[in-house]
Copies of this chain bind each other. A is one copy, B any other.
Amino acid sequence: MRDVNDILGKEKLKTKPQNFSSFRERLHEVIFEANDFAGKAFDVVLILMIFLSIVVLMMESVPAYYAVYKDAFFYLEFAITVFFTIEYALRIYSVYSPKYYITSFFGIIDLLSTLPFYLAFFFPSFQTLMIVRSLRLLRIFRVFKLDAFIDQGNFIMAALKESSKKIMLFSFAMFILITIFGSIMYLVEHDVNENFDSIPRSVYWAVVTITTVGYGDISPVTAFGQFLASVVMLTGYVIIAVPTGIVTANVVQKQSNKKNLTESCPFCLKEGHEKGAKYCNACGHALNE
């Protein structure tokens, strides 16, 4: 079963090559593991740098702050980017399979965390690319090496994975429903309501309505339009039960899978003993290991 460790690209990075110096091995431990103080300290510093870089990214975008602290933001961002660049180089140097790492999900994220700054520096027209730095936040997931969270993550991912086909089918049905509702609403409203001026916009309205978001930037004005809108709202309100029911059922099932359903008492045949039970609780006979 694919789990969070797989997605983090750790599984395939496990095989150590033959001539791997002890320095690179040590570096590997610090950067990719969190078994000792140095490894954990590295993770903490990395998380702090990621958060700092996000704060800088956000503050920079506020006109009032940018006017005053423009230079400070630039030097901070410069320092952060240099730090991430060195980190990226060290990762390539100390990883068991550099090729696999560079093309992996997190390898690309790592590169995207540094590249935009250099591009924007040399080609000012790439300024807008700076927003790509927000993807740095995704790197935090890699740092999560705490066992408890890995387990919880695996649990949620597994439950979602089992629901995925049903959720996809549900999403597809919703897509069709939204398109049809949007088209009908366009027909009903567009003559008297300039907000419903095209089907794509009406479909956008249908999304806003069926998900119960309801901005109010587009809302029906005709009596029949409001009646139709009511139908869309009630549909959205009730069908949320479907994905919720699907996911919940999978979580319930995964969680109740703590009983040894296949094991039966060799004497009285009672099935469904607690995990770790040594004796049958119906007849007292010893259970097979």
A3 to B204, CA, bound (A): 32
A255 at the interface (CB under 8 A from B): yes
Kindly report which residue of chain B lies nearest to residue A156, judged by CB atoms: B166
A5 at the interface (CB under 8 A from B): no
In the complex, are the beta carbons of B269 and A282 less than 8 A apart? yes
A283 to B277, CA, bound (A): 9
In the complex, are the beta carbons of A244 and B249 less than 8 A apart? no
Q: Which residues of B are found within 8 Å of A22, using beta-carbon distances?
A: none
Which of B57, B128, B199, B234 is within 8 Å of A207, CB to CB?
B234
How many copies of the shown chain assemble into the complex?
4
Interface residues of A in 255-289 (CB under 8 A from B): 255-256, 261-262, 264, 268-286
A278 to B160, CA, bound (A): 31
Which of B148, B198, B249 is within 8 Å of A62, CB to CB?
B198
A28 at the interface (CB under 8 A from B): no
Q: Which residues of B are found within 8 Å of A149, using beta-carbon distances?
A: 165, 169
In the complex, are the beta carbons of A245 and B242 less than 8 A apart? no
A111 at the interface (CB under 8 A from B): no
In the complex, are the beta carbons of A58 and B203 less than 8 A apart? yes
A167 at the interface (CB under 8 A from B): yes
A140 at the interface (CB under 8 A from B): yes
Task: In the complex, identify which listed stretch (A77-85, A98-106, A118-126, A208-216) lies at the interface while the others stay far away.
Answer: A208-216
In the complex, are the beta carbons of B131 and A187 less than 8 A apart? yes
A206 to chain B, nearest CB (A): 9
A61 at the interface (CB under 8 A from B): yes
A236 at the interface (CB under 8 A from B): yes
A141 to B169, CA, bound (A): 10
Q: What are 13 residue pairs bridging A and B, where the CB atoms are less than 8 Å apart in the complex?
A: A54-B179, A156-B170, A171-B238, A207-B230, A212-B214, A238-B243, A242-B247, A245-B250, A249-B252, A270-B270, A272-B272, A278-B284, A284-B286
A-side residues, CB < 8 A to B, are 54, 57-58, 61-63, 128, 131, 134-135, 137-138, 140-141, 148-149, 152-153, 155-156, 159-160, 165-167, 169-171, 173-174, 176, 179-180, 183-184, 186-187, 190, 197-201, 203-204, 207-217, 219, 223, 226-227, 229-230, 233-234, 236-238, 240-256, 261-262, 264, 268-286
